Chain A
Amino acid sequence: MAGEPFDKLRTEPFDPSTLRQPFDPAQGRAQDTASSGHRSLRTGPCIVVQDLWYSYGGEVTALRGIDLEIEDGDYVAVIGQNGSGKTTLVKHFNGLLKPTRGRVLVRGLGDREGSPLLRDTAGLTVGQLAQTVGYVFQNPDHQIFCSTTREELAFGPRNLGLPVAEVRRRVEEALARFDLEQYADRPPAVLGYGLRRKIGVAAVYSMRPGIFILDEPTTGLDWRSTIELMELIGEMHRHGHTILLVTHDMKLVTGFSQKSLVLREGKVLVYDDTRTVFKHSEVLRDTQIEPPQITALAKRMAPYGMPDDVLSVEEFYAAYCGLVVRG
């Protein structure tokens, strides 16, 4: 299962009781569910990309005709070599970039109640999109600028025009969720890199965007901090947020994502279930993306009956136990 990552290496499980009611009924996704009536069924796309082209300064063409639909509530890993267009693509979803040609449509924009309709992002600002699409920068220091962690977490919700009491409630909840209470009154700038990353994610979380984009969120983190952050992202996903994870770390892709979007030279090479994508190694080899070691080992052992879509150590072990013993 793509949803059962890292086998027994997981850190402490999240306490679901702290998570079930975090959303603001007046502003967040709970309202979306109520107004659209079928939101919780996760049907239909929340992002539609139609023939998207993008050129930086007219010279380098970073995207060359992308057609794509991201289903609401999906967890999508965006992978490809540097220069394949990953960051350029996801920056279109929150309006940081506007298409040179083609269209990007995002659901739930344009009215404060949250709309089930897809709207063209062309005329919308980053600020308008921020309510629906959260973007966590690759480098937390591009995003963090307040004098305390608490202020940092309040900045987004306040900019959405939420009432003071609501801003405070969201900040406290984000502090608790991300285990940042002890750093609430300290300047983020003096905290360690892993903590600043967490604050970067928490600051976006406090805006309750339906769609969460994370650009290489674990670069520079040690293994434990990586797993902790991935667990938090997984929890947001289980809560109904759509997750777009840009990463080079194939262990995270196979361990956590449902679908993989593979880009190559500004085009979609393949977009499918993560298991299917890693099963078709010949497609991936073109992009020089290497599968996780355990997946590669299983493929090597295909002549002995190993399935060719093993994504985790546990899966490998279970499959090996089912092989025909020699002698």
Chain B
Amino acid sequence: MSLTRRIIPCLDVTNNRVVKGTKFLNLKDAGDAVELARFYDENGADELIFLDITASSDKRKILIDLVEKTGEQVFIPFTVGGGLRTVKDIKEILRAGADKITLNTAAVQNPELIKDSAYIFGSQCIVIAIDAKRNYVKKLYNDNSKVFVEIEDGYCWWEVYIHGGRTPTGKDALLWGEEVTKLGSGEIMLTSMDCDGTKTGYDLELTRVFSERLNVPIIASGGAGTPQHIIDVFKYGKADAALAASIFHYNEYPIEVVKQECDNAGIPMRL
């Protein structure tokens, strides 16, 4: 018996509705975020993440309402992110009942926000989301601002993107990961932009270098299409948690099935 690896369904929401389609015939309203969250709790999800893709401050009240309602019915930890920019934004979401919040663009633009919020609310509730994309390098060159990692056919470094993956920053993702850890981030939610949406598996190299170099838990994200992908990201990527959306939402693989397969593969799971 030991600390288990975690399976985390991710719900993209806008106006309290899950926007990436869902296909649960046994739910009264498959698009209702709270109801889906409850369904996942009952079916063995270890945590949940809500990402508000509207992410505008005028809609913040709707998000807070969602957090309140979720807290009344869901008794596993849940994280909320999307458009949070200030200590006040974070405070509102935590007060409403979220266990953790994620910061992405705002953290890159204002790293002090990580430090301030970790100091006020504790590192355990500050999750930094990093969207990383590979830059391939044929020949190594001298550049201390990048970490080159050997991959199958050469080398690459990972670049941080912000604004929902639209804007490259020139920042090295791994060095940014080290910086956010020092500033007080309690966990890192690491999304591979190369793999996201492909359903061909996680970026195992990316996940592994983060897991090996940083001493905070790494939540791997982007690319899950089968239970084997999740097994791989735990075994070879050394992830602490695996995040997935569509394979759960469309009920292609129920959470219990994924967890059982991980357990069969020798990965500690809460069954």
A and B bind: no
